[in-house]
Amino acid sequence: MSKTKPASNSERARIIKAVLEAINDLPGEILSIGDLCRIARASERTLNYAFMQRFGLSPALYMKVQRLNGARRDLCGQQEPPMNVADVANKWGFWHLGQFARDYRNLFCELPSATYKRKHNADVP
């Protein structure tokens, strides 16, 4: 069994930079771990270590949190044409609305519909 040397800090920084660029370039896309490994030219283990060291999150959880934050911005914002909660969820790659609502509530301590209603009720004269 051959031992490989762990990635250096500069190598981890390169990996993180490549992955974050891909995530930011395709904000609503759900990239697989395999996609991220190819983009970063790194193994899954090295990718995971880099994310855990930098963010304290796995790459998959990091992407989910980013997408949930994007959905929250849209629910709080003014879109033209107006989007409902399901449209916002789908835009950010959440196809199971019940799971989206649970994940959203776990992160923001309120349901996406409450965020939407608060913003849109405030806009009514």
Say how many C-beta atoms besides its own lie within 10 A of residue 59's C-beta: 24
Q: Where in the chain does DSSP place strands (E)?
A: none
pLDDT at 19: 94
Tokens of 121: 């009720």
The pLDDT tens digits of the residues spanning 28-71 come to: 788 899 999 999 999 999 999 999 999 999 999 999 999 999 99
Asked if the peptide bond before residue 81 counts as cis, ω within 30 degrees of 0, the response is yes
* Distance separating alpha carbons of residues 50 and 59, to the nearest angstrom: 9
Q: If residue 107 lies in a helix (H) or strand (E), which one and from where to where?
A: helix 97-108
pTM for the whole thing? 0.83
pLDDT band at 2 (very low <50, low <70, confident <90, very high): very low
Look at 21-25, 62-66, 76-80, 115-119 and tell me which has the smallest mean pLDDT: 76-80
